[in-house]
Each structure stands twice: as C-alpha cells, then as structure tokens.
C-alpha cells in the first residue's frame, strides 16, 4: 500500500499586527513565491484573537490564498507550554526572522517553508517591486470625503506628513521601544523638500492624534488635517498618502508604505534617522537608499 499523499510544497507566511506590517509580510512572501515558483498562502489565524488588529490585505487586489486547517501547520494546544511544543514540533521548514535587519537566510529558501517575522526591508522584494505595486491596487473606489481629498491633493504640489502617536505614547513599553518624532523633525523635512523642489506645497497631515498634530506641528506652508478615516478605513488614508507628490514619514511601517506606494518618479521621501527609541535596537535596512534621512532623536511624545 502506498503512503499518504504528501502535501505540495508551498510558501506560507504568518500575517500579524497592523496594516503596515501585514504589507511587509505579504510583499516578502510574494517575492519569495515569484523567485521559487511555489504558490503562496497566508496564515491569518492571528486575527481570530480578541485584541488582534484588523486584517487589511483584503482591501487590495493581491493574488493570494488564505491557508486552511488542511493546509496550515497545526497550532499549539492550549494545555501544552509553548517551549515544549516548539521543542518537539516539526520545525525543519520554519524560518523565524532573525533580528530587525535584512535576514540573508531568505536568499537560501528554495522549497517548502513557513515564515514568521516582520520582514521590514525593501531588500526582500525590490527585485519584484513593479509586480508588488500592481498587486497593491485598491479593490474599492474611494468613497465618502476621500474623492474630494484626492482632487485637492492632485490640484496642488503636495506633501503627505504622517504623525504616528497612539500607543507609541500611551503604552509605556511601546513608548520606551518606539518613541515618536518631535515636531522639529517634520518642519526640517518640509523645509528640505521645499528647498530642493523650489515649489510651494500644501502639507496634508495624517495622524492618529490629529488634535496634537494641529496644535504642535508648525510648518512653513499651508496645512490641511486629514482625520475623517477611522482605523477600519486605514487603507483609504494609505491611498491619500501615496497620492501626494512627496512624503514625510514617521517611524511607522504604515507611513513607510504610503511613501513606497507613491509612483511619482520624482518623489522625495524624508525619514527619521532613528527608527527605534531603544538605543539597543536598530534596523539598518528599513530605509531605501533613494530616500532622504533627516537627523533626529526620538522622544517620549508626552509633551510638545
């Protein structure tokens, strides 16, 4: 008698966290699938947890297969300690991201693999950038106030500014690890873009703390605050950010993707020189070489 039919080789990527991280995880997996010729499936079981962020990749026209109970590895039973499960589980094909920078083990993957991590670098998918940008088109047409904002962005030289606060300020652990960009960083970045282009821009500010941004961000140009999309419409803010001529990002994967998805060949993207407030943590590979790094220190963000 013949044995059970082996499962076909597949690239499986664990998808977790917010939309910016989900996009990094997808892009890495898509590039790996294209390089190896193996099909890609996503493991989105994380989003069944009560405190999980919303799954957002279904808002894009990406090619993917969602893994099922039959195609995904078994999850750890609740009664079994994690260390025991991990020690004796079949981990031959599991690749856990090593550190925060580019993990060169990615280059050696040639067969069946299950990948867990954040994969926060363009280096994982830069060879397939045009394909991935095409994948990440929006499924739905803009609605509500978004068409009017798109028109306003297209009618004037524009800079998108993303001010990330939220749990970076409120959660002590995240505050110590991430920190926030100070107001001076945004002013310096806008001045850099203005001096380089010689144009007068309108700055469109996107923030999860719009009131703080309106009170504390002082820029040498007209400003419009964009705060009508809630967390469930994050992809709509991403569309507006990407539509601007240039971007000033915070230490946030969400604004990173807003800048990366901008197809303007003459775009200027300003990014902070520090990505983590924790001095023991770095990612030397997160900022693409074509972007401009603005020297800044990250702060607690609890004051101006």
List, for residues 112-143, the tens digit of each pLDDT value. Answer: 999 999 999 999 999 999 999 999 999 999 99
Is a pLDDT exceeding 80 seen at residue 4? no
DSSP state of 145: T
Q: 266-282: per-residue pLDDT in tens?
A: 999 999 999 999 999 99
On the question of pLDDT at 2 being above 70, the answer is no
Look at residue 88 in the predicted model and tell me its pLDDT: 47
Q: 297-301: list long-range contacts, CB under 8 Å, 24+ apart.
A: 297/182, 298/178, 298/179, 298/180, 298/181, 298/182, 298/251, 298/272, 298/274, 299/179, 299/180, 299/181, 299/182, 300/169, 300/175, 300/179, 300/180, 301/165, 301/168, 301/169, 301/175, 301/179, 301/180
3-state secondary structure 158-172: EEEEEECCCHHHHCH
CB-facing half-sphere around the CA of 87: CA atoms within 13 A? 5
CATH number for the domain whose boundaries are 146-294: 3.40.50
With cut-offs at 50, 70 and 90, classify the pLDDT of residue 303.
Answer: low
Q: Which residue has the higher pLDDT, 150 or 83?
A: 150
Instruction: List pLDDT tens digits, range 42-63.
Output: 999 999 887 778 999 999 999 7
250 vs 7 pLDDT, higher one:
250
For residues 186 and 219, give the distance between their C-alpha atoms in angstroms, rounded to a whole number.
Answer: 8
The pLDDT of 91-107, averaged and rounded, is: 88
Return the minimum-mean-pLDDT range out of 85-94, 218-227, 253-262: 85-94
């Amino acid at each position: 008698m013949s044995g059970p039919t082996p499962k076909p080789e597949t690239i499986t990527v664990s998808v977790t966290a917010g939309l910016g991280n989900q996009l990094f995880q997808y892009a890495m997996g898509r590039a790996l699938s294209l390089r190896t010729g193996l099909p890609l499936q996503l493991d989105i079981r994380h989003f069944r947890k009560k405190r999980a962020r919303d799954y957002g990749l279904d808002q894009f026209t990406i090619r993917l297969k969602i893994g099922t109970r039959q195609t995904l590895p078994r999850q750890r039973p609740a009664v079994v300690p994690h260390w025991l499960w991990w020690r004796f589980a079949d981990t031959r094909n599991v690749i856990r991201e090593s550190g925060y920078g580019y993990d060169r083990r990615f280059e050696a993957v040639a067969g069946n693999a299950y990948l867990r991590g954040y994969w926060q670098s363009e280096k994982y998918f830069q060879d397939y950038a045009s394909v991935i940008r095409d994948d990440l088109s929006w499924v739905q047409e803009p609605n509500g106030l978004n068409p009017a904002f798109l028109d306003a962005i297209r009618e004037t030289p524009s800079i998108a500014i993303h001010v990330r606060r939220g749990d970076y300020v409120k959660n002590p652990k995240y505050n110590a690890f991430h920190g926030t960009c100070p107001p001076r960083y945004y002013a310096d970045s806008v001045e850099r873009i203005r001096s380089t282009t010689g144009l007068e821009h309108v700055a469109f500010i996107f923030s999860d703390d719009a009131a703080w941004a309106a009170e504390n961000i002082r820029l040498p140009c007209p400003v419009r605050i964009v705060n009508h999309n809630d967390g469930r419409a994050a992809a709509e803010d991403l569309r507006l950010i990407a539509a601007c001529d240039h971007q000033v990002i915070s230490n946030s994967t969400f604004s990173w993707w807003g800048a990366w998805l901008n197809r303007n060949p003459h775009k200027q993207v300003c990014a902070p020189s520090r990505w983590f407030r924790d001095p023991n943590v770095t990612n030397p590979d997160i900022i693409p070489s074509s972007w401009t790094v603005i020297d800044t220190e990250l702060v607690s963000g609890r004051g101006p």
